[in-house]
A and B are shown apart, each in its own frame.
Chain A
Amino acid sequence: MDRECSQLLPSVCAVLADSRQLVADDTFLEKFLDWFKTLTETESSLLLLQENPCLTELITCVLKLKDPSSSTLSFILRLTGIFAASESCFQYLQQRELLISLFGEVGPLSSALWEEASVRSGWVQGVHSMVQHQSALHFLCNCGAIDVIFTLQGDPSLFVASAANQLLVHMLTFSLQSFQTKLVNIKDCDWPVCAQKLIVHIEESLKSNSASRIKQSLKLLTSMFGCCHDLWTEVLWSQLSERIVYLLEEKPVHAWHSLVDLFLSMARSPVFSCPECSLWTSVTCALEHLNPAQVGRLAVGVLKLQECPQAVRIQALSVLLQPMDCVLKAASHPLEYPGLLNRSVNDSATVETLLSCRSSCASLLCQTLAHLEELQYLTYLPVDLPYIPLLQSVVTILQFCIGLATPASCLGNKISRILIGCFRVQRSALDILGALSHRESHSVFMGSVSDILLAYLKSPDTSPTVLKKSFQATLKWLVRLSEAPSSRDHWQQTEQFIRDLFLVLQKRLCSPYWEVRDSALEFLTLLVKHLREKDGFRQVLFSSEVPKLTEDLLEDPESYVRASAVTAMGQLSLLTQLISKMPGIENGNGKEKSIVAQLQEILSTDSEGFPRRAVISVFIDWLKEGHPDVLKDTEQFVSSVLQAVNSDLDWEVKAGGLELAEVFSAQTLGRLGLAACPYAAVSSSATRSTHLSESLQIFCRVKLFEFLFGALCDFDRPVAQKACDILITLKAELCEESSLREGTRAGLSTEAHGIAWLEETLRRWSSCAEPCPRGNADGAGSQDPNGVLLVLRTVDLEGLHGSLNRSSDHIEKSPQSLLQDILATVGTLEDNEADCY
């Protein structure tokens, strides 16, 4: 602790100990505790107490207070716990009987303030901090604290109950840490007293008839097995497993949620990974006894494990596939599918009951679909998934949802009635349908997937969110099909689908609902991006009305739609340019020339931020990808964009402008052989100097530095940071020794120009960066390259970079400031009190 803080601390302690001087803001106390936690990690706690007796006095004073506030008492409990974590400090506090007064039966436990959840929470946290040595454990065992913790497990405050549970986990793992080596060989366990007490408590709770007590113990075990992977956990499990299996066999299983958590937590522990472990017997039992709606999470968790007996995996997969199998069989299909399961894991009647009930059908299917989708993204799935029947069952669900499936049974009739128009299931099913595209199969796509996707895309009843999912699934399939090795043979068939798709897209772009127009545009953008190499796709695209409709949407009244239209036009324009370079293909759009101007107009005039941000992103892409219209006169393009961005108030647009400036400067330097590529041929110093000067002139012509220095002074820190980074890079490139020498030779030295000159120059630049009549652009705005170099050298960009990287409250975060704030707040309170009277 530094001297200033030591000096302030007694006054602060005095304030805290004075019950009349309430600290209004609890966050001070939290910060205060954080500070002490940091201090005790680096300094000796005992020394801290000895050097600052005011701290011990504070504890004593608060204990003596007749009516302390609950927040102060809670704070003191936690503070004492932090100090008592050190064994020497623990002894020091013990000698003064402070610990027994705070954590023993005579302390806050027996006071009226114990009714306050914050006091109980402070007590639990204090004990938790303290339990870092055996002395603390002995103390707690002897003072009856353990029983208090057991009671707090069922505390009405969830925070307290959870903290008590965590504390028990901590106590158990801590008490057994040192016995680990002995336990390997001892099965009947001569466990430490504290651990024994806890284990007996867990066993009794599990045997009790109280559902809440059972759940508390299961939660405790879940946390414990989750964080502790020592060998003794296996011994503990062998003691408890019989009881857990008994809980599973009860009807109904009340604690299924907690049991699933427990098994998942244990299954991830290396201690239980061996195939012979009894855990797997319990997991198998759970997979059998719990219904699919309860056990889905366990099944998917099991399938994600690296170490797990294969039989359990197969059973877990069967659990997930069973509802899908039922749905598949509930509808009649033109072709009979083999079904998803060779044998039924659970009683199929249970699944059928769940599926035929309105309240459980949709949630079971959504849950199952989500779990199965999760499996699709695993890099390695250790079991064989019946891909085709699964896909067919997903398609069947989607058919049911829009009344296209023909029920083949009474269950089918019920499912049909429940699912028709159920958006939730539609969304989940479309998600997995998209995910299943990774096992690309052209015949399957053309067989049933394309039909169902088109049905959803066409249906006027498809809700905007479902439509978006349909677009996403369609995109995934098309991208996979276009990338597949066999795509050439089948692509023609896919083109027919794309033709149908564009008819739908045309209509969707004219939808009265902006969400629909927006989704359609987003889909179009991604479609063009991924399929632009496909001739057939381009032909369908440009023979449709879609490009024209997209251009019309640049004037949509909804800003999101305008933004998406801008992005889509950006892609379409790049594609059009690509086509025009190809022999034999005409430019798809005669108005292409005006697109740059149209987007520039949006950038400078649109009142909403989204379209302007979209424009700047498109311009960055165009610059990177070499859009011909940009390449025609890049300087003019960049100059006009920077000018528009400079006067924009939206920081994201500015950040976009800076990225454009960065790309442009890198391209300019690179084009002239100045790129920082380690493998680039080294040019002679004379050539390099010429290139540098040429680059500098280009930068001056586009008023790059005016823009960058303007952004450096921006109120938004990310903008200023980005500008600073770019300027530092440019400085490194441009202000080399050689150029410095030349500058000096030309009579331009830092010394010759003072701060006044710098300020004046920057002010002039900033006024020039503002939009001005085109005629004046050359004269007033042109910078002197040598002047630019001088400014770059003069301004302490590195220093600025450092201060910009620091958060704005770095000064206020110091402990000293915290202590002063506590004192100041108390002062204010007093003033206010005086005012009141």
Chain B
Amino acid sequence: MGRQSTLPWGAAGESPASLLLKYCLSGHPTLPCNVLKFKSTTIMLDCGLDMTSTLNFLPLPLVQSPRLSKLPGWVLKDGNTFLDKELKECSGHVFVDSVPEFCLPETELLDLSTVDVILISNYHCMMALPYITEYTGFTGTVYATEPTVQIGRLLMEELVNFIERVPKAQSASLWKNKEVQRLLPAPLKDAVEVSTWRRCYTVPEVNAALSKIQLVGYSQKIELFGAVQVTPLSSGYALGSSNWIIQSHYEKVSYVSGSSLLTTHPQAMDQASLKNSDVLILTGLTQIPTANPDGMVGEFCSNLAMTVRNGGNVLVPCYPSGVIYDLLECLYQYIDSAGLSNVPFYFISPVANSSLEFSQIFAEWLCHNKQTKVYLPEPPFPHAELIQTNKLKHYPSIHGDFSNDFKQPCVVFTGHPSLRFGDVVHFMELWGKSSLNTVIFTEPDFSYLDALAPYQPLAMKCVYCPIDTRLNFIQVSKLLKEVQPLHVVCPEQYTQPPPTQSHRTDLMIDCQPPAMSYRRAEVLTLPFRRRYEKIEIMPELADSLVPLEIKPGISLATVSAVLHTKDNKHVLQPPPKPTQPPASKKRKRVSDDAPECKPLKPLLSGSIPMDQFVQTLEKHGFSDVKVEDTAKGHIVLLQEAETLIQIEEDSTHIICDNDETLRVKLRDLVLKFLQKF
């Protein structure tokens, strides 16, 4: 794509393109979707999908659930029953009885078809991609690393599978009417922009979206229209997860999204490359800043062992990739010591097999320890051994082989963590009635109480062990000290303590100058001005320059040239040769390509030493020279000639009464003291 324009010399002032604008399309700090307008390029940073909207819907059971199908319809206070088909009541909560819908990023704030590129940080932050690429007229390119694309595909396929395999005839829409929504109980009443909520995309849409992705590797430099360069850096959070550097010759913006400094399975975070940023956009910090992942893993293991020892089953609602790899590794080390060697572990997901296999082949994206294992005859992750020894078994769904192999007590890892769809719904229905069983929540994306709401009353034990390895505020503080960006930009949630713990002032970003915050549907002008632009000089033009040293080490030369700008690259070309006078009598045409060049007056530099200047004047017959000091320089009075020479730092004026000869004489005397080039 080429964008061509030719600017006249000296017109490089402040233009709208030189401002850095940021459009926030998502209010969720860990599922960001931002658009950056920088140097005439429009870059979308992530397109996370807020799935918490699904918590307002009834679960989709894999097999007919008498309990769910018998839930009473919701009736308004005045007895009106017009919503009883759409809304059901369960233990004091009201749910929409329909196919779950998702809250999309903001689409009205700017025309998304103008987005040039989308940069993806990690597989959790690309779940809205089909909505952007397939519904908005998007024609650009998406950049992401290979593991991000592959695992992102798995997550999307799992999501589509979970929803499509339980078709629901009914579709609720009445409740979305603004007037109706006002009458509903919380949290439905307070749900934002319900009219824009959409059903899940389809497999063809997923494929189409993913086909627009161009794969990139860490530290690979990608030129965007010659204007900016983008580079993914390892962020340490997940396989292939990246932070992005967006830079021109003189400006640097860092986009930090979902990073981790803990030693888990992915390659370590690259912090050094984030240094010297003008602006650092900080998103995707831990959602549970008070829970230390190590402590939570301990808690997870203890609760798991206690349940199994008492003969109960453990259900772990989870995504098919990510923390599950680390959990399986911990369990690998723990099960023998806890006497759990004979307890089966089941991993149920339509993409379970692919996820476990993919994790073993992305060697170059793994942490150092695991990378070294590639050279040994053992797989990087120990879950391979768990599978070999039959301790871990994986199935695409509860149907088929699983039902033959199923033994209790056992531990089941399955999705979806929202408990609204997927095989987990079945296990909740199956095990919820016994207090021997435990559901352990490890994914931090959903409130566990909200997730459990449609299953109440529940006898099974619930344990909340959110494992979020992303940066906490202490780590952020150290990171900012280390990389020292000029400005920090972050979601507004990070600039104040969490609402439930308002006294914890340690749970917010503390930096100088204070971070700029943004919220959903807000446009932010980022606090920097572009001051310089790099311009190349053509060799033949460079040859013609005659630099003059005005100070040791500093040489100047005047240039007469044409500034040519194409694809955001600026080149000084030799000026066109003076045009021959037209042979015909036709009117002279103004050239489109270059302005007409006039012979240039020489430039002057230097300062005038007053004593010597006065002496020179006297030598030339001016006897009554008087010098007065002014705030900006000097005034030389030649009383007899009724002439005044005003000498200032950047200008000299000779004021005489219509005596051009005198003026020229005086001018020449002044010029003797100045350098010309």
Contacts and interface: CB of A to CB of B under 8 A. Distances in A.
A557 interface: yes
A370 interface: no
B337 A510 contact: no
Contacts of A413: 505
B291 to A, nearest CB: 7
A141 to B, nearest CB: 61
Contacts of A558: 337
A555 interface: yes
Contacts of B342: none
Nearest to A517: B337
B503 A512 contact: no
A406 B339 contact: no
Interface string B488-508: 000000000000010111100
A512 B337 contact: yes
Interface string B314-357: 00000000000000001001101111000000000000000000
Nearest to A553: B339
B338 A460 contact: no
A167 to B, nearest CB: 51
A549 interface: yes
A460 B291 contact: yes
B247 interface: no
Contact of A545 (B306, B333, B474): B306
A248 to B, nearest CB: 38
Given A403-B504, A512-B337, A460 B290 contact: no
A403 B309 contact: no
B503 A508 contact: no
Nearest to B297: A512
A29 to B, nearest CB: 53
A506 interface: yes
A508 B310 contact: no
Interface string A546-580: 00110010011110000000000000000000000
Contacts of A656: none
B309 A460 contact: no
Between B298, B299, B306, the greatest number of chain A beta carbons within 10 A of the residue's beta carbon is seen for: B298
Contacts of B309: 510, 545, 548-549, 552
B306 A403 contact: no
B305 interface: yes
B261 interface: no
Nearest to B301: A512
Contact of B310 (A420, A460, A461, A545): A545
Nearest to B501: A403
B504 A510 contact: no
A511 B305 CA distance: 9
Nearest to B504: A403
Contacts of A516: 298
Contacts of B292: 460-461
Given A545-B310, A552-B309, A510 B338 contact: yes
B160 interface: no
Nearest to B330: A512
Interface string A500-512: 0000001110111
B505 A460 contact: no
A39 B298 CA distance: 65
B184 to A, nearest CB: 35
A508 B337 contact: no
A318 interface: no
Nearest to B307: A510
A837 interface: no
B390 interface: no
A406 B334 CA distance: 38
Given A403-B506, A407-B503, A507 B302 contact: yes
A420 B506 contact: yes
Interface in A391-410: 403, 405-407
A460 B333 CA distance: 19
Contacts of A405: 503
A417 B503 CA distance: 10
B295 interface: yes
Contact of A512 (B302, B501, B504): B302
B303 interface: yes
B627 interface: no
Contacts of B501: 403
A252 B291 CA distance: 43
Interface in A499-550: 506-508, 510-514, 516, 545, 548-549
A420 B334 CA distance: 29
A97 to B, nearest CB: 70
Contact of A508 (B302, B334, B465, B504): B302
Interface string A443-463: 000000000000000011110
Given A403-B290, A416-B505, A420-B506, A507 B295 contact: no
B506 A460 contact: no
Contacts of A508: 302
Given A510-B305, A552-B309, A416 B503 contact: yes
A462 B506 CA distance: 18
B296 interface: yes
Contacts of A557: 336-337
Contacts of A510: 301-303, 305-306, 309, 338
A698 B29 CA distance: 79
Contact of A460 (B295, B474, B503, B504): B295
Interface in A457-503: 459-462
A416 B309 CA distance: 40
Contact of A513 (B298, B306, B310): B298
Interface in B178-217: none
Contacts of A513: 298
A459 B295 contact: yes
B506 A417 contact: yes
B306 A507 contact: yes
Nearest to A548: B309
Interface in A406-440: 406-407, 413, 416-417, 420-421
Contacts of B334: 512
B333 A407 contact: no
A305 B256 CA distance: 60
Nearest to B310: A545
A406 B503 contact: yes
B153 to A, nearest CB: 33
Contacts of B302: 507-508, 510-512
A462 B302 CA distance: 14
A549 B296 CA distance: 21
Contact of A416 (B291, B297, B465, B506): B506
B301 A511 contact: yes
B339 to A, nearest CB: 6
A512 B305 CA distance: 9
A231 to B, nearest CB: 59
B519 to A, nearest CB: 25
A407 B506 CA distance: 12
Nearest to A463: B295
Nearest to A561: B337
Nearest to A402: B290
Interface string A34-57: 000000000000000000000000
A459 B294 CA distance: 12
Interface in B454-511: 465, 474, 501, 503-506
5 shortest A-B CB distances, which residue pairs?
Answer: A460-B295, A510-B305, A512-B301, A510-B302, A460-B299
26 contacts: A403-B501, A403-B504, A403-B506, A407-B503, A413-B505, A417-B506, A421-B474, A459-B295, A460-B291, A461-B292, A507-B299, A507-B306, A510-B301, A510-B305, A510-B309, A511-B298, A512-B302, A512-B330, A512-B338, A513-B298, A514-B337, A548-B309, A549-B309, A552-B309, A552-B339, A555-B339
Given A413-B505, A511-B301, A511-B302, 12 more contacts: A403-B290, A403-B504, A460-B292, A460-B296, A460-B299, A461-B295, A510-B303, A511-B298, A514-B337, A549-B309, A555-B339, A557-B337
Interface of A: 403, 405-407, 413, 416-417, 420-421, 459-462, 506-508, 510-514, 516, 545, 548-549, 552, 555-558
